[in-house]
Amino acid sequence: MKKCVIVGAGAYGQVYVEYLSEIYDVQGFFDSNPSLIGIEVSGYKVLGSVKQLPTYMENHENTAIFVPLGNNKRRVELLKIYEEKGYELPSFVHKSVYMHDNVILGKSVYMLPSTNVMPYTNIGDYTMVSIGVNIAHHVDIAPGCFFSQGCNIGASIKIAEKAYFGMAASVMTGVKTIGTGSLIGVGAVVIRDVPAKAVIVGNPGKVLRYIPEKGVLNN
């Protein structure tokens, strides 16, 4: 099997190692937490810090890298750095995902089981899609977005870069745009356009506040 390493030994890394190990020879993790280095997480060793990964890759050129981090900004940042270095950064689409043939899939996209994507949808680079997400037709998803478990996205919606959707969030058909770096809260039902950096909660969804320029998730 093809060898790979995973950046991030936290919750998402531990989930992804279970799926990736079915089709890859996982060598271990790299993580920014120094207390994890050298120990085993989910049965795989933390080989070093994130900063040490380029040194590791000098002697492991044929190893693929996955970066399943929930922080949109950090995930995109690292994937772009690794792309510039020429590393192999494959997408991962679980075998149970139903995706029509004319869906356009970007680079380094990660999709977990039981997700459905209808025709004429574009999924941008570096996007993560969790379990049981439903994405309708003619949806345009910009790079670096994150969809938590059980999200439902209606038809013909334009989603700007680094938007974050909490568990079971829904966006109704008729909404035109979801703004850059916005956060749709757990269980929120979006019925109107969402401005950039807005935090949306409730049913129907309303703006709770705006994420500051140095917000945690997307900036």
* pLDDT band with cut points at 50, 70 and 90 for residue 151: very high
Q: What is the largest CA-CA distance in the chain?
A: 53
- Helix or strand or coil: residue 72? helix
Q: Which two tokens stand for residue 77?
A: 């940042």
Closest to 103 in 3D by CA, of 122, 82, 89, 131: 122
Q: H-helix or E-strand containing 27? A: strand 25-30
* pLDDT band with cut points at 50, 70 and 90 for residue 218: very low
C-alpha 126/C-alpha 177 separation (Å) is 20
Instruction: Give residue-wise pLDDT tens across range 48-78.
Output: 999 999 999 999 989 999 999 999 999 999 9
* pLDDT band with cut points at 50, 70 and 90 for residue 219: very low
| pLDDT at res. 61 | 87
**Cβ(203)–Cβ(186) below 8 Å:** no
Instruction: Give residue-wise pLDDT tens across range 112-136.
Output: 999 999 999 999 999 999 999 999 9
Quick check: 81 pLDDT over 80? yes
Quick check: 143 pLDDT over 60? yes
More confident residue, 178 or 61: 178
Tell me the domains of the chain and their CATH numbers.
3-66 (3.40.50.720), 92-210 (2.160.10.10)
| pLDDT at res. 213 | 74
Quick check: 43 pLDDT over 50? yes
**Average pLDDT for the chain:** 96
pTM: 0.95
* pLDDT band with cut points at 50, 70 and 90 for residue 217: low
